[in-house]
Amino acid sequence: MTLKNTTRRGVLKGGALAGAGLALPQILTAGSHSGYTNAPQGANVTLGFNVPQSGPYADEGADELRAYELAVEHLNGGGDGGMMNTFKVSGGSSMLKGNGILGKKVAYVTGDTQTKSDAARASAKSMIEKDGAIMITGGSSSGVAIAVQGLCQEAGVIFMAGLTHSNDTTGKDKKANGFRHFFNGYMSGAALAPVLEKMYGADRTAYHLTADYTWGWTQQESIQAATEAKGWKTANNVLTPLATTDFSSYVAPVLNSGADILVLNHYGGNMINSLTSAVQFGLRDKQVNGKNFEIVVPLYSRLMARGAGENVKGIFGSTNWHWSLQDEGSKAFVKSFGTKYGFPPSQAAHTVYCQTMLYANACETAGTFNPCGVVEAMEGLEFDGLGNGPTTYRAADHQCFKDVLVVKGKENPTSEFDVLEVVEVTPRAQVEYAPDHPMFAGGSLGACNPGA
Amino acid sequence: MLNLNQRDTGTFLFVIIIAVLAPFIMNPFPTDSAMAQFNAGYPDLMQRFVIFGIFAIGFNILFGLTGYLSFGHAAFLGVGSYAAVWMFKLLSYNIVPALFLSVIIAGIFSLFIGFLCLRRSGIYFSILTLAFAQMSFAIAYSVLSNPKFNLTNGETGLQVYADDIQLFQVENLTTPHLFGWTMNTTYELTLSAWDFQFNVGYYVSACVMLFMFYISIRIFRSPFGLMLRAVKTNQTRLNYTGVNTRPHTLAAFVISGMYAGLAGGLLASMDPLAGAERMQWTASGEVVLMTILGGAGTLLGPLLGAGFIKYFENILSKINDNVLHAWFQYLPEWLENSLVWVLHWFTGKGWHLTLGLLFMIIVIFLPGGLMDGANRIREALRGRKAKKNLQTPVE
Amino acid sequence: MDALLLQILNGLDKGSAYALIALGLTLIFGTLGVVNFAHGALFMIGAFCSVTLNKILNLSSTTIDETQKDFLGNPLKVKTPYVESWFGEVAGQSIIEWSVPLAIIFAIPIMLAIGVIMERGLIKHFYKRPHADQILVTFGLAIVLQEVVKAFFGANPIQTPAPDALSGVLDLGGAIGLQLSYPVWRITYFFFSVIVIGGVFAFLQFTTFGMVVRAGMQDRETVGLLGINIDRRFTIMFGVAAAVAGLAGVMYTPINPPNYHWGMDFLVLSFVVVVVGGMGSLPGAVLAGFLLGILESFASTTWATTTIPGINQIIIYLVAIIILLVRPRGLMGREGVMEE
């Protein structure tokens, strides 16, 4: 056996000796590999879709999976092409031609993250080690995204993050092989604060309820900073355990605290439950300091907002994308998704569809699947037509910069999907920040890792 | 051999052979065939088989012998993982100090928890261990991950960063290794249509597992093991005869806690990230299921149970509709679609359902777990001749 | 003072859910001696009875409205619930609005049936098996039940609001000069649980049936020797326990929108409550439920979390450990139950 110290994989190639019926292993050197992990052999290229299929975010995972299937169909030339037709990169149309990626047909494998970092890594590893996936994508929480991003960096494959809103994903935990299309806590704050000031005035006191883990903290920090810059005061920040199902004991003291705004830094089931409790306690009907008491949910997800029913009406928040947008890309995507599945796509579906298209385009631009080539093609990429207006993938931290939507719960929904309405499209310039902003400081991208 | 009786030597040799040949045994299907979906012979899953095997073997020393049902063993696994990653962060990526510390820390932690919990028995004991484990989880998930004193890194999981101290770090060794032998090195052997993967990490874990399995056999056969069985059979009578059982049960608790810590350390060595979910009650429940499913109180049972659960978790969850269609594409379309529609509920996102059904079926029809099934098959093969030996206890 | 009263009220409100779930669980422990890991799933199924009724009442006829467009630009399909077309719009809407209270009537027979089928079909075969086997098989059942619910209803929570008359807040302290208002539905839930708990106790205390069951809980063999078919009564008690869990679930849906995972969320907690109360003791379970509810409320006040950071994360478990170490059989446990 030959062993190279720096390579991750040694290769023993063997062939069955014809006629003899005996198989004798033949040792070859690593030359047969193309110098990066899971270089596609044959006519197919395999992508790994790692989404939550069990646990609280299973519905978002299912929607992500639908969008991935749609993206694969479009990449392979099927369907109506969706956003592939509207996707433009700086200086012309995208490189995608509907003949797979680099002439190889796109195949995929799926796995269940269970929204646990351990399980997500196990699932991603099995895709890399067993199925030869060249790229891993998906996920619906920041813990999982950061854990899988780290794994992909070590293994030498590209990671295209799904839903992850924590500043850390492209902050202190950023990795050269990882890319985030979704927006983050800082952007939510920067987009929301001006609208909140306009709607509710500058003289407000906010009370924060915050999910007691990394994402909650970074979002709370971002929102507090952004609103205090507009003159708001912060009365209190109360941390709530992730496992809380009944938020009544956290909501009950809010009214007597002197605050006139409640900010719920919760997501998913936590958000639904805390919002439901807050409305139950009649907070929205109260007057404090002569002003109407208001509730804010900084990060909205339409799928989840539906679970909160009537309670979301009129409540402000931010979101990455919404199906009611009227640009060409969004319309094309909603049309092909809606025609195939019968309902409009969620922001999770939109993000992962974009990520798949962006990855495919980067491979085409680079002319290779080699992660280092892809990273180079992706860094600084400017594109348009994917539903968020002109967008840039910043080279310094692999964060996408694009417009952010400020939304509010719709007062008179016309259908069960019509939960949110877009209040303002916050221009990109307003949510940009320097790569070394204190909330994102620490950590480094490192160098791209092509693996073996 | 090795001070084992003939029967145990046979069992031990059997496990050794399976462990060594696992990359072949787990990969029975050619790589490009439709059945390759069922192959389990890739490094990550094989590592999980043996590591969770260690966890379950250790748990079986407590539960299988003494009958004390702990619902908090995942806490020791989690503590072991954290200890190992901290060793990577502070010293170097060498796994020896990491494993050493994870066993020690888990030992101390289990001594403390065991000392308190073993004052009660039955379900009171179970709930006490559960409460300690859930507290550990909550503390690790949020309290100890605050920016001022970040011991666990919370939701994201503890991992090694480039700017960590790593006092004895060797250039070029940026992943866990055993004196330069990196865990993620994999040799591939291609034999016509088959691909076999031989992973350093797997073999290191397998060696540890074999050693721990040997220790567990010795414990089972020792006077100490006999004493533990006596506790299970009738603790009151044992007390009346003047035996203080507490030190024995505590010893068993700590030993099994150290097994869990070792498993946690190994998990972190194969993949240097320690997440708090490892400590959640569902993780504790999982090892209970592994042990009962395989056959509590038997030597091989826990290993079988661990393999069973990890196999279904990892293989079943990856079978999506696309794969199903590929399997049945040769059938007429209506049959293909209806088969896919039926199986759709049991694979991919429905893998939990299948697992739940399998738990129920096994425990209803095989009261002694998978080992019970294996014995029945053996008896059936031997035919009537074996009837005389039916009295031999299930091992 | 206001804050203190508010937290006590909140504790009672939380505690009533805990007490209801724990009551059913203890009934099963006490009568059948079975560790039922599927009890949380029964609570969840109860909640989904309410969701199901809501869906049934919302079964709609579809008409196509050419004037409006859906998201794809096709003519909008307008749905009118059948109950509205049958009973008129106003009456129909109020029937739908009252779906949660109506679900109580809907859920009782269903939950009784589920309980009896579960006992006769599955649990019966596990009386003589070790507790570990009971745990495994009921845990498997819990997973199966929750996955079936997930397959039908999805993973996201589903909103099932309370009727308008019972939502909103009630001002409790206005008369005595305190700032103390509390959601009407939560107060309703508290009284509902008191009634159910009272009903179960009265049933056991004042009926012949209950007397026999209590005797059977003390000494099953002797009661059997007296020629009483105790098994049949225990089967019915299993059904009652399932119904109690189910009702707790039905009434809980307006407080939090239910999702398929509720069973597992409440499972650990309910076991802790039962054990803290003491195995085999019904009053113990109720007492422990309210006690833990109140303590949990106090632990989540700002005062508590600033004094001891993270106390709200661990309070339940901490209290459980302390009580079990101080009192060997929980608050009111009987000797010899589940101690082997």
Nearest Cβ partner of C179 from A256, A282, A414?
A256
Pairwise CB contact (< 8 Å): A276 & C302: no
Q: In chain B, which residues have their Cβ closer than 8 Å to the Cβ of C330?
A: 124
Per-residue pLDDT band at B129 (split at 50, 70, 90): very high
Q: In chain C, which residues have their Cβ closer than 8 Å to the Cβ of B288?
A: 132, 135-136
Pairwise CB contact (< 8 Å): A11 & B187: yes
Assess if CATH 3.30.2010.10 describes domain A186-319: no
Closest residue of C to B280, CA-based? C268
Q: Is the pLDDT of residue A213 over 70?
A: yes
- Among A191-195, A246-250, B323-327, C92-96, name the most confident range: A191-195
Q: Are C69 and C170 a contacting pair, CB within 8 Å? A: no
Burial status of residue B1 (CB atoms within 10 A of its CB: 0-12, 13-18, 19 or more): exposed
Residues 310 to 339 of A: which have CB under 8 A from any C CB? 310-311, 323-324, 334-335, 338-339
CA distance A206 to A283: 13
Q: Are A137 and A355 a contacting pair, CB within 8 Å? A: yes
pLDDT in tens, A276-329: 999 998 888 888 888 999 999 999 888 888 888 888 999 999 999 999 999 999
Which chains neighbour A (Cβ–Cβ under 8 Å, 3 or more pairs)? B, C
What pTM was computed for the model? 0.91
A305–C contact, CB cutoff 8 A: no
Residues 221 to 240 of A: which have CB under 8 A from any C CB? 236, 238-240
In percent, the amount of chain A with pLDDT more than 70 equals 92
pLDDT in tens, B308-318: 999 999 999 98
Domain positions in chain C: 2-57+100-326
Q: Report pLDDT for C81.
A: 85
pLDDT in tens, C127-141: 888 888 888 899 999
Which of these ranges, A81-95, A321-335, C324-338, has the smallest mean pLDDT? C324-338
Q: How far is C14 from chain B (nearest CA, A)?
A: 20
> What letter would DSSP give residue B94?
B
Residues 151 to 170 of A: which have CB under 8 A from any B CB? 151, 154, 168
CA distance C104 to C97: 14
C340–B contact, CB cutoff 8 A: yes
Q: In chain A, which residues have their Cβ closer than 8 Å to the Cβ of B348?
A: 53, 110, 112
Q: Report pLDDT for A21.
A: 35
* Best CA proximity match to B284, nearest among B110, B39, B96, B45: B110
Nearest Cβ partner of C325 from B116, B141, B355?
B116
Query: DSSP string spanning A361-391?
Result: HHHHHHTS--HHHHHHHHTT-EEE-SSSSSE
Token code pair at residue A93: 């149309």
Q: In chain C, which residues have their Cβ closer than 8 Å to the Cβ of A409?
A: none
Average pLDDT of the segment spanning B74-101: 95
Q: How far is C150 from chain B (nearest CA, A)?
A: 9
Closest residue of C to A418, CA-based? C71
Beta-carbon-side half-sphere exposure of residue B375 (alpha carbons within 13 Å): 21
Q: Report pLDDT for A256.
A: 81
Average pLDDT of the segment spanning A6-31: 38
Residues 51 to 110 of A: which have CB under 8 A from any B CB? 53-54, 58, 61-62, 65, 69, 108-110
Q: How far is C226 from chain B (nearest CA, A)?
A: 30
User: A207 — phi, psi (to 5°)?
Assistant: -120, 120
Pairwise CB contact (< 8 Å): A212 & C186: no
Nearest Cβ partner of B156 from A130, A143, A151?
A143
CA distance B88 to C162: 54
For strand A92-93 and strand A404-409, is the pairing parallel, antiparallel, or unpaired?
Answer: unpaired
Measured CA to CA in angstroms, residue A202 lies from A159, A191, A205 at distances of: 41, 15, 9
Q: Report pLDDT for B195.
A: 86
Q: Give the 3-state secondary structure of residue A267.
A: coil
Q: How high does pLDDT run on average in chain C? A: 88
Q: Is the pLDDT of residue A428 over 80?
A: yes
Q: In chain B, which residues have their Cβ closer than 8 Å to the Cβ of C324?
A: 120, 124, 127-128, 131
Q: Report pLDDT for C132.
A: 82
- Domain count of chain B? 1
> What letter would DSSP give residue A113?
-
Residues 284 to 343 of B: which have CB under 8 A from any C CB? 285, 288-289, 292-293, 296
Residue B36: CB atoms within 10 Å? 17
pLDDT in tens, B248-269: 999 999 999 999 999 999 999 9
CA distance C161 to C248: 16
A338-373: b or e for each residue (b if 16 or more CB lie within 10 Å)?
beeeebbbbbbbbbbbbbbbbbbbbbbbbebbbbbb
Nearest Cβ partner of C339 from B121, B128, B134?
B121
Q: Report pLDDT for A3.
A: 37
Q: How many CB pairs under 8 A join A and C?
A: 126
Per-residue pLDDT band at C88 (split at 50, 70, 90): confident
How many degrees, rounded to 5, is the angle at CA C146 between CA C143 and CA C149? 150
- Region A44-183+323-402: CATH code: 3.40.50.2300
Average pLDDT of the segment spanning B96-114: 96
Average pLDDT of the segment spanning A82-109: 90
Pairwise CB contact (< 8 Å): A12 & B184: no
Per-residue pLDDT band at B385 (split at 50, 70, 90): low
pLDDT in tens, C294-311: 999 999 888 888 888 888
A122–B contact, CB cutoff 8 A: yes
Mutate to test the interface with B, among C36, C129, C146, C313 (most CBs of B within 10 A): C313
Q: How far is A136 from chain C (nearest CA, A)?
A: 24
Per-residue pLDDT band at B384 (split at 50, 70, 90): low
Nearest Cβ partner of A147 from B39, B156, B191?
B156
What lies within 8 Å, CB to CB, of A186 at 6+ separation is A167, A222, A226, A431, A433, A437, A439, A440
Domain that holds residue B173: 6-297
Pairwise CB contact (< 8 Å): C14 & A307: no
A59–C contact, CB cutoff 8 A: yes
Q: Bigger pLDDT: A133 or C88?
A: A133
Q: Report pLDDT for C301.
A: 85
Measured CA to CA in angstroms, residue A292 lies from A201, A205, A260, A284, A435 at distances of: 11, 12, 7, 7, 38
> What letter would DSSP give residue B200?
H
Tell me the ipTM for this assembly.
0.90
Q: What's the length of chain A?
A: 452
Pairwise CB contact (< 8 Å): B123 & C147: no
Q: Report pLDDT for A34.
A: 63
Q: Is the pLDDT of residue B189 over 70?
A: yes
Q: Is the pLDDT of residue A134 over 80?
A: yes
Q: Report pLDDT for B394.
A: 46
Average pLDDT of the segment spanning A37-60: 91
Could you tell me if residue B83 is inside a domain? yes
Q: Bigger pLDDT: C221 or B84?
A: B84
CA distance A114 to A159: 18
Pairwise CB contact (< 8 Å): B123 & C35: yes
Q: Report pLDDT for A286.
A: 87
Could you tell me if residue B319 is inside a domain? no
Domain positions in chain A: 44-183+323-402, 186-319
Which chains neighbour C (Cβ–Cβ under 8 Å, 3 or more pairs)? A, B
Q: How high does pLDDT run on average in chain B? A: 90
Nearest Cβ partner of A241 from C2, C167, C312?
C312
In percent, the amount of chain C with pLDDT more than 90 equals 46
Pairwise CB contact (< 8 Å): B135 & C317: yes
Q: In chain B, which residues have their Cβ closer than 8 Å to the Cβ of C146?
A: 352
Per-residue pLDDT band at B193 (split at 50, 70, 90): confident
What lies within 8 Å, CB to CB, of A218 at 6+ separation is A166, A167, A168, A171, A184, A185, A439
CA distance C290 to C283: 11
Pairwise CB contact (< 8 Å): B172 & A5: yes
